[in-house]
Amino acid sequence: MHIETQAIVCAVRAHGEHGAIVRALTAETGLIAGYVRGGRSRRLKPVLVPGNLVRGDWRARTDEQLPALTVELIESRAALLGEALPAAAIDWGTALAAVALPEGQAYPRLYAALDGVLAAVAAAPAARGWATALVRYELLMLAELGFGLDLSGCVAGGEGALAFVSPKNGGAVSAAAGAPYRDRLLPLPSFLIEGGSADWPDVLDGLKLTGTFLERDLLHGRAADILAARERLVERIRRVGT
């Protein structure tokens, strides 16, 4: 096995006295784990930060063996970790990929989406610049792993603008058809249909929507441990938007 490509560092775990096991997301091969010798050293510790863009070189004698990994920094996002809101966004976005994705399966759209979120956070640390991209990333994660929402039309047969999502089947419902049941439905913010930017109430509605299905369908068992990172992020966004 030999893979050399650009990757996003998603998770780092200490291994032994000096080493680290790194899980990184690539466009061509998906999520790959590797052992970095000296990964906890002064030289490599600033490189092995979740959110950083690196060039990785994975080598192993067999497919069953944990590859040895060497890394070279392409772009650091470590400076953003000193700011609470950008740090929370990076922590959550990378943790979601590390926990939810199976290793060795390519998800090029998810790689591009996560790279886009991280680039947006770096370009404009204020949440207004990247919050909608984060919601779309979560929505895409659900779709790529087989739990996509049906936002193509009203599942109840109603006409007009889509305004709600059924928490039971993940299908969109029009404003007219959903009005009598609005207390049982989830709001569908317009930016997920029309694109573009969004105001804070719509961003929070989007996070509530994706969070409902992430928690129910994707993040359960041991994977549920990372939901605390998402809760911290949503709470910080809520404080900014109120």
pLDDT in tens, 140-193: 999 999 999 999 999 999 899 999 999 999 999 999 999 999 999 999 999 999
- Higher-confidence residue of 242 and 141: namely 141
Which backbone phi and psi does 35 adopt, to 5 degrees? -95, 125
Same domain, 30 and 84: no
Q: What is the mean pLDDT of residues 47-65?
A: 94
Which pLDDT belongs to residue 126?
83
pLDDT band of 17, cuts 50, 70, 90: confident
Last residue within a domain, chosen from 43, 76, 109 = 76
Q: What angle do CA 79, 82, 85 make, to 5 degrees?
A: 110
Same domain, 143 and 96: yes
Would the pLDDT of 196 be above 90?
Answer: no
Which pLDDT belongs to residue 221?
82
Would the pLDDT of 128 be above 90?
Answer: no
Which backbone phi and psi does 239 adopt, to 5 degrees? -65, -40
Same domain, 113 and 230: yes
Same domain, 70 and 135: no
pLDDT band of 117, cuts 50, 70, 90: very high
Q: Which domain does 29 fall in, by range? A: 2-76
Same domain, 27 and 105: no
Which pLDDT belongs to residue 135?
97
Which pLDDT belongs to residue 197?
84
Number of domain units in the chain: 2
> Is position 233 within any domain?
yes
CA-to-CA distance for 102 and 176, rounded, in angstroms? Answer: 40
Would the pLDDT of 241 be above 80?
Answer: no
Beta-carbon contacts of 35 under 8 Å, excluding residues fewer than 6 positions away, are 15, 19, 20, 21, 22, 66, 67, 68, 69
pLDDT band of 95, cuts 50, 70, 90: very high
pLDDT band of 89, cuts 50, 70, 90: very high
Same domain, 70 and 131: no
For residues 113 and 137, the answer to whether their CB atoms sit within 8 Å is yes
> Is position 172 within any domain?
no
Strands 30-36 and 19-26: antiparallel
Same domain, 210 and 121: yes
Q: What is the CATH number of the domain that holds 31?
A: 2.40.50.140
pLDDT band of 222, cuts 50, 70, 90: confident
> Is position 166 within any domain?
no
pTM for the structure as a whole: 0.94
> Is position 146 within any domain?
yes
> Is position 158 within any domain?
no
Which pLDDT belongs to residue 125?
77
Which pLDDT belongs to residue 69?
97
**CA-derived radius of gyration, the chain:** 19
Same domain, 9 and 124: no
> Is position 64 within any domain?
yes
> Is position 160 within any domain?
no
Same domain, 71 and 84: no
Same domain, 60 and 25: yes
Which pLDDT belongs to residue 188?
98
The DSSP element (H or E) to which 8 belongs, if any, is: strand 2-15
The DSSP element (H or E) to which 164 belongs, if any, is: strand 162-165
Same domain, 207 and 108: yes
> Is position 59 within any domain?
yes
Last residue within a domain, chosen from 60, 76, 92 = 76
Same domain, 33 and 111: no
CA-to-CA distance for 2 and 94, rounded, in angstroms? Answer: 24
Q: What is the mean pLDDT of residues 134-138?
A: 97
